Structure 1
């Protein structure tokens, strides 16, 4: 009986020694970097800003290949979305369509230099969400002089943008691709923010020759890149707006 008890105790101790310890994302937020203390890697660092192509760096000063396996999971359902490839200190792989708007996490199985296995978790945001609206008012039409097109002398633009990056480190920029309109975003939006609602109003200029005013907003996070492009078609008789929003 004592021999059996001893055997069970040794077996249990062996199991406990080799059991995988789960270490959760240290701050609980999605973000580029999750740092760890006394772990198989110093950090998990998301290098990509794509909803479909993921690359994560796993730095460690002395261990050239600390991780053996990794997967991406849905935060709410705990569903395994995809497994990742492991190449040295890099985890990489493709995510299928349909998960762009879901918060996710990476779980990497790694081994420290003492042989202890750990499951390290690193949170990823959903792709940035954009709600972009605008209006224009036009006045003082000038007829064509026979050399150039007719045009409105006065155009005023009012736009509103609601951004949810899903993480504190998300960032955005806005640009007028054709013509010029009041800038919706400023420098602070280039350096990281979770969410914001912004508006801008003022004078705008459009291309009279092509009859358009085109504005673009791009936001990036660990969950992907979202691009919104609005096109105002401006003629003497009507002004129509089209907008496209895509995630990649």
Structure 2
């Protein structure tokens, strides 16, 4: 029997807000839910991590010193739980079985993260959404996504963004920005590239976990990537 592919998809919280710049745009939730459903119907096991930047970012909340960084980060973790519950609702609306697992205990809302339980959900063809980051301040949801991907034995982590890959400089600011179809982990840690934070990339490197960066708003793109079509994305891996 052929082993089923397992992936972890990381969405930014900001992407959920659409043109509003804050909150949750339900039309985007529906679009993402349909894209994830297409993966499951093709026999792919899916884990999800969503950021909380559409509600609050810990670093930003703590920038003027009124809110401590640790408190700001915990507020950010709670924001990811809100987004995860919203995503769960959207996926269930399109007929998917979903579980939210939080790194912080909140039994009235979702399960507590236990890797063996998550593995069991995948075996039952359920989608698992990992909320509340790592449960610790000073770590980003990028790091949480990479950590969870490694813990569940994912074949790759897909960072779904608003652009079609990684560029040598910001394509929104520089007309001569060049897309990098493939790059090493070391190149990805270059300050001008900013694929993910250095901790998450270092984790991926140590565990030989490929990172794929793609446009989340291109219909069918996630499935194409997982099936091996890497034309509309960038991949970070060993040489």
Greater relative contact order (Cα < 8 A, sep 6+)? 2
| TM norm structure 2 | 0.24
- The structure whose Rg is larger is 1
Instruction: From the two aligned structures, give the one with the greater helix fraction.
Output: 2
